[in-house]
Amino acid sequence: MVADGYTASAALLDLLRSRGMTVATAESLTGGELCSRLVDVAGASDVVRGGVVTYATDTKTSVLGVDAELLARRGPVDPDVARAMARGVRRLLGADVGVATTGVAGPGPSDGHDAGTVFVAVARGPGDGDDLVDLVRELHLTGGRDVVRDGAVRAALALVTTALGVPGGSTGPVPG
């Protein structure tokens, strides 16, 4: 998918555009970096609906509708929380595809998880029922905060391409 000098973001936006689809981001540990990476591409406004940063755990519930009991039981670093964030931002911003990041950037552990533990999720489909495609990927990245956050962004971009039926995501290697 990435060829002729296109960045992973540009290639993903081209793919979404060719399918008449839009995307929205819900971010925790990446703090808006995923949405920023997408809107760095000229012309992104016809594909990107927006992004929500829910860095504080309670905003995952109040803004994105993530179940408070799920968060209380498992904490914010969880595959089902990532899935709920992707679904929530998709619904909130009226996008065809919702993509979410949650995890621990470091430098130390948090919420019982080692630094570098990340979940990225994608929700896509015409509705919220059985036809909704949910994908979640767990990562264990190594390196400093910048490396972990960058790896989460690249993994999220790759997971969206996978959800769109492009095998392997092809946005480049993810460290760790």
Q: Which residue from 123, 172, 175 is spatially nearest to 7, judged by alpha carbons?
A: 172
Secondary structure letter of residue 24 according to DSSP: E
State what percent of residues in the chain have pLDDT above 90: 83
Sheet of 117-124, strands arranged across: 48-53, 23-27, 97-103, 117-124, 133-140
The domain segmentation of the chain, as residue ranges, is 8-163
Q: Which CATH number fits domain 8-163: 3.40.190.170, 3.40.50.10330, 3.90.950.20, 3.30.420.40?
A: 3.90.950.20
Q: What is the mean pLDDT of residues 36-42?
A: 95
Whether the CB-CB separation of 103 and 77 falls below 8 Å is answered with: yes
What is the model's pLDDT at position 133? 80
86-125 pLDDT, tens per residue? 999 999 999 999 999 999 999 999 989 999 999 999 999 7
Q: Is the peptide bond before 173 cis (omega within 30 degrees of 0)?
A: no
40-75 pLDDT, tens per residue? 999 999 999 999 999 999 999 999 999 999 999 999
